Chains A and B, each alone.
Chain A
Amino acid sequence: MKKLNVRLVQMLIFSIFLVSAAGCGQEKSHSSKTIRVGVVKYIEQDDYINALTDCLRDNFAKKEKTSQMHIVVTVKNGGGKQAIQDRVVEEMIDAGCDILCVDLVDRTAPTKIINMARRNDIPVVFFNRELVREDLMQWEKLYYVGGDAAVSGVMQGEMAADHIVLKNSKKKGKGKYDPKVDRNRDGRIQYVVLEGETGHQDAILRTDEAVGTLTAKGIKLDKVSYEIADWSKDQARNKMTQLIAQKKNEIELVLANNDAMALGAREAYEKSGLSKEDYPQIYGIDGLKEGLAAVASGKIQGTVYNDKEGQAGAIAQLALALIEKRELRDFSLKDGRYLFLPYQKVDREEAVKREH
């Protein structure tokens, strides 16, 4: 009997040792601290989104250095089609993913992604393309980080207005505008809009607000053309080349929804053979490195800085807070779900300052 008791005690001690050893093993396991972040862009080639994604990777890498977490960031894209993006998200979830950061292809069609995320209890931080409010409110683990597109349009319009109207001028009508801008001195500004893409909310808002701001400031405008250039420098260059062939030096102002298209417009003029005096004022939005350099050198007259570093930082922090199930009180979330970051006007002086 005594022997049996000793055996039982020995077995009990051995079992406790085994259980605790297994526990220690789990503590040290790499997998318990690995976080998989799935980032799905709307398309492969978008300079702004790629710069933002790079910042996002940097933010996660910094966090990894200062914590015990191993953060794996996988970046894929939806190839410009919502059906493809849905499939990419499905594959990411299937392979194992703790959080999704999604820049939707079609802001009105997030349902499949939301349903898949919900079924698998994976929070989603949408960015860049603001989805419809009702969709965002479908589930409590959906968030949006971005800039307020309308504000960027207003800022672009204000910058253009500052350059068009002569400072301290009390004149009205024809003499009111800077003759370097209103080159035909007809008291009206002939303008072209280069819009991102059809039906894109940010593109529509940027255009409407930029043109609306100019009009509200009393500037008389004549729309020469309105072109969709898919946020792309190449497309913008091609479309502007066609317009220059038709309109020669008629165009006095180009409002582009982003820097890439603004730079494409500038390139078209550089290849047109027109003299620099016949170039229009060109404005972009985003404040990418290339865009800022173009403003600093006077190739384009202004851009609106879309804070990619701030947005990437906010996405990373929000994503980690959601994974760690922390309170979100420190985030100034609008309606508990939206995080908007401010824009900033960048004229030549500001661009030069930023370059240094």
Chain B
Amino acid sequence: MEKWSRTIFFVVELILGIFTMTMAVRISADEGPQKKVAVIVEDSGNSKWNSYIKGLKDAAKANNLHLVICNTDNGLDLEEEKELMEEQRNKGVNGFILQPAVGKETESVLSGFHEPILLNASTTGRNFYGRYALVAPDNYRMGAALGQCIVKDYNGNLRDKSIGVVRGRKEDPAVEQRWKGLSDVVEKAGGKICWILDQRQDTAIAEEIRSRSTVSALAVLETDTLEDVADAAAAHDVHGAIVYGIGHSIKSVYALEREIIAGLVTADLYDMGYYSVQEMAQKLSFPGRELKDRSIDVLVPDKGELFTEKYQKFLSAMER
């Protein structure tokens, strides 16, 4: 009997010992150095990223990650992106969240990095680069939603209506997808796209629009360009065309609220930032886990419901 008690005592002690050691290992793992994630998006200081960056930061805080938002200018090129990634890798970064710079060599540049990479810009669809997960809105759907805004305002019939499209950077695959979505819907409703304007960085948009034929509606496919067109529209400088656009900035929302633009399509970039970091945090905790794609909600706020509870979180994140 005494022998049994001693055995039981040793077994219990052993179990407790293993349990204590496991807990100690887990605690020390939790208290280890914070994992670092670098975020690279073009023009990182631009206010169009406000809600995205808020989402990133909130998730980083919740997951105890150190976030490095790289300093970038507009027109981020592949060479610069590569340079930034190398710089951050040398500083000990554990993962990257990227807006991939547009270029033919993008995939081969990214493949030179062995840290986990998650992409934040939609291209031709989910998981464009095959090897990388994508957290982004569906750009085709955004373009189509913009087309539907126009169609709705003309009671479903765009016959005899002329439409001008201000596309932004045409080499950007996201813009290309939006364009496809828009043109499919417009054509189906019998509308005619009279001209397409690809804005270059140094062009004055109002002058460019003035130099084109007068149109019933203007569809703008990118945030920065939409802000410029909205300024031109506010100064009555767009030949009286009704402006619709895709935009993620608070300025775009103001333009809708003040009826400078008639329709706005946007996406919940707060969620894009939040889920990207959350996904990366899980990958860094469990390296065997695959990063997963996620499609971000496309929003089409109506002017009348902008300040309702539905858009409260969306607007407050934008204002940062």
Task: Report A73-97 CB contacts with B as 1/0, cut-off 8 Å.
Answer: 1111101000000000001101111
Contact of B45 among A31, A34, A75 (CB under 8 A): A75
Task: Report B21-50 CB contacts with A as 1/0, cut-off 8 Å.
Answer: 000000000000000001000011101000
- Give min CB distance, B5 to chain A, whole Å: 60
A74:B68 contact, CB within 8 angstroms: no
Residues on A with C-beta less than 8 A from B73 are 72-74
User: Is B153 interfacial (CB-CB < 8 Å)?
Assistant: no
B71:A30 contact, CB within 8 angstroms: no
Residues on A with C-beta less than 8 A from B70 are 95-96
Given A30-B79, A30-B83, A34-B83, also A95-B320 (CB < 8 A): no
Residues on A with C-beta less than 8 A from B45 are 39, 74-77
What is the bound-complex CA distance between A44 and B50, given in angstroms? 11
Residues on A with C-beta less than 8 A from B47 are 44
In chain A between 1 and 52, which residues have their CB closer than 8 angstroms to a CB of chain B? 30-31, 34, 36, 38-39, 44
Closest to A72 in B: B73
Residues on B with C-beta less than 8 A from A75 are 45
- Give min CB distance, A291 to chain B, whole Å: 15
What is the bound-complex CA distance between A96 and B68, given in angstroms? 9
Total interface residues on B, CB under 8 Å, equals 17
B72:A74 contact, CB within 8 angstroms: yes
- Give min CB distance, A275 to chain B, whole Å: 25
B71:A96 contact, CB within 8 angstroms: yes
Contact of A72 among B69, B80, B320 (CB under 8 A): B80
Closest to A79 in B: B320
User: Is A70 interfacial (CB-CB < 8 Å)?
Assistant: yes
Closest to B44 in A: A74
Chain A, interface residues (CB within 8 Å), range: 20 to 34
User: Is B207 interfacial (CB-CB < 8 Å)?
Assistant: no
Task: Report B235-249 CB contacts with A as 1/0, cut-off 8 Å.
Answer: 000000000000000
Residues on B with C-beta less than 8 A from A76 are 44-45
- Give min CB distance, A60 to chain B, whole Å: 9
A31:B72 contact, CB within 8 angstroms: no
User: Is B13 interfacial (CB-CB < 8 Å)?
Assistant: no
User: Is B86 interfacial (CB-CB < 8 Å)?
Assistant: yes
Task: Report A136-162 CB contacts with B as 1/0, cut-off 8 Å.
Answer: 000000000000000000000000000
In chain B between 45 and 101, which residues have their CB closer than 8 angstroms to a CB of chain A? 45, 47, 68-73, 79-80, 83, 86-87
Closest to A58 in B: B202
Given A74-B44, A74-B45, also A31-B83 (CB < 8 A): yes
What is the bound-complex CA distance between A94 and B72, given in angstroms? 13
A92:B71 contact, CB within 8 angstroms: yes
Residues on B with C-beta less than 8 A from A36 are 71
What is the bound-complex CA distance between A324 and B218, given in angstroms? 47
Residue picked from B38, B69, B86, most chain A C-beta under 10 Å: B69
A72:B72 contact, CB within 8 angstroms: yes
Residues on A with C-beta less than 8 A from B86 are 31
Contact of B71 among A44, A72, A77 (CB under 8 A): A72
A74-B71, A91-B69, A96-B71 given; name 7 further pairs at CB < 8 Å: A34-B83, A39-B45, A74-B72, A77-B45, A94-B68, A95-B69, A95-B71
**A–B Cβ pairs within 8 angstroms, 15 of them:** A30-B83, A31-B83, A38-B71, A44-B47, A70-B80, A72-B71, A72-B73, A73-B73, A74-B44, A74-B73, A92-B71, A94-B68, A95-B71, A96-B71, A96-B87
Residues of A within 8 A of B (CB): 30-31, 34, 36, 38-39, 44, 70, 72-77, 79, 91-92, 94-97
Return the 3 tightest CB-CB contacts between A and B, nearest first.
Answer: A74-B71, A76-B45, A75-B45
